[in-house]
Amino acid sequence: MSAGPYVTIVLPCYNEERNVVAEVERICAAMDGSGYSYELVAIDDSSTDSTLARLRELEPRFPALHVVAFPHNGGSGTARRIGTQQARGEVVVWTDADLTYPNDRIPELVKLLDADPYVDQVVGARTSEQGTLKVVRVPAKWLIRKIAERLTNTAIPDLNSGLRAFRRDVARPYLRLLPPGFSCVTTLTLAFLSNQHPVAYLPIEYAKRSGASKFHPLRDAYRYLLQVFRMVMYFNPLKVLMPVALWLVAVGLLKGGYDMVVHPFYFPTNTVLLFLTGLIVGAIALLADLIVRSRSDG
């Protein structure tokens, strides 16, 4: 029996008929020259164009290519999750099929992962923003990234890059947490960082997208932000809740001291509510932390 591939590349495809042939050719050429054994799992997410037909035409040319066709559209997060669950390689690579990421550099990410057994994930950190509505996207992404850095106490050059290589066995416990949409890449980064799995970053160029973007700047930015708080709450709720609790208690005590001076032995209802709310939030934070520490996957 022949050994399985060392690298599994998961390539979600949705309405990429204009790009998918060039992308598969580029990935396979880079991997064939790298010396790594690999499989390329291309997942057609129920495309409404000829993406699946193009992929089927490529299968005879590329033995490492394995095409999976979804009967219903599940989102890029679902495609990445299922592709990773089915992966045979020890190292899994995520990327996109829209010609934005330098997929010819995938072997570099794998090599960096091989070179340092301490590192569990290597992320391609984009050095530029090529998306639409930059006036909205750039500040929103910066703010979300800074919040994530604050909550994880880690510098994060690129929170939601779609190009990354990671150890399959390390990622496996966190796959069930992946949301179906774009924020799955953010989720995986935060899951690793929150559980002390080291993440390294490789600066990459980011090309302008070919075709129409599926990213909605307001809706998806909100989902990114929500996912940041959700993941930190899942792994370290004290980071989110305890500062709020301490702030409420401190304000309540200060206001109580002021009330004692202005109205001796009289505490207005809002002062009492501030103090009690702080205590309640603090108690919830401690309870949530206890639940996290009692989980087998935490």
Q: Percent of the chain, pLDDT > 90?
A: 63
pLDDT, tens only, 104-126: 999 999 999 999 999 999 999 99
Q: Of 177 and 201, which is predicted with more confidence?
A: 201
Q: Which CATH class is domain 7-235?
A: alpha beta
Q: Which helix (H) or strand (E) holds 101?
A: none
| pLDDT category of residue 263 using cuts at 50, 70 and 90 | confident
Please provide the DSSP assignment of 255-275 as one string: HHHHHHHHSTT---HHHHHHH
> Residue 182 has what DSSP assignment?
T
pLDDT of the residue at 1: 39
pLDDT, tens only, 162-184: 999 999 999 999 999 888 876 88
Least trusted range by pLDDT, from 75-79, 201-205, 223-227, 258-262: 223-227
Average pLDDT for the chain: 89
User: Rounded to 5 degrees, what are φ and ψ at 268?
Assistant: -60, 160
Q: Of 25 and 222, which is predicted with more confidence?
A: 25
pLDDT of the residue at 276: 94
pLDDT, tens only, 143-152: 888 888 887 8
pLDDT of the residue at 105: 97
178: alpha, beta or left? (left if phi > 0; alpha if psi -120 to 50) = beta
Indicate if the pLDDT at residue 132 is higher than 70: no
Residues 133-138: contacts with CB within 8 Å, 24+ apart?
133/217, 136/217, 136/218, 136/221, 137/217, 137/221
Q: Quote the CA–CA distance of 84 and 76 in Å, as a whole number.
A: 12
Q: Among positive and negative, which fits the CA dihedral 212, 132, 99, 106? A: negative
> What is the side-by-side strand order in the sheet with 164-167?
65-69, 38-44, 7-13, 91-94, 164-167, 121-126, 199-204
Indicate if the pLDDT at residue 298 is higher than 60: no
| pLDDT category of residue 217 using cuts at 50, 70 and 90 | low
pLDDT of the residue at 151: 79
Least trusted range by pLDDT, from 40-44, 64-68, 107-111, 180-184: 180-184
Gap between the terminal Cα atoms of the chain: 37
